[in-house]
């Protein structure tokens, strides 16, 4: 498990009512980050179960 996923699991475990969907998207940055480079985390809130949310909004089957 990568460091980012481990941090996400730990963060969710510390929050009441938060479920880790065990889903991650990643990219590769070549070289050292410099001015204008951005790395971010995205948190979403939904009443849907994690798996259903992923199927409906993230991995819909229409990806290229």
Strand, coil or helix: what is 17?
coil
Let me know: does 21 contact 53? Beta carbons within 8 Å: yes
What is the pLDDT, as a whole number, of residue 49? 85
What is the pLDDT, as a whole number, of residue 53? 85
Q: What count of other Cβ atoms lies within 10 Å of the Cβ of residue 52?
A: 11
pLDDT tens sequence across 17-46: 888 877 777 778 788 878 887 777 777 888
Report CA 19 to chain centroid distance, whole Å: 12
What's the predicted TM-score (pTM) here?
A: 0.51
């Amino acid at each position: 498990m990568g460091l980012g996923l481990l941090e996400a699991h730990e963060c969710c475990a510390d929050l009441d009512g938060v479920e880790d969907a065990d889903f991650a998207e990643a990219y590769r940055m070549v070289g050292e980050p410099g001015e204008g480079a951005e790395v971010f985390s995205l948190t979403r809130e939904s009443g849907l179960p994690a798996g259903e949310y992923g199927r409906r909004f993230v991995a819909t089957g229409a990806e290229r």
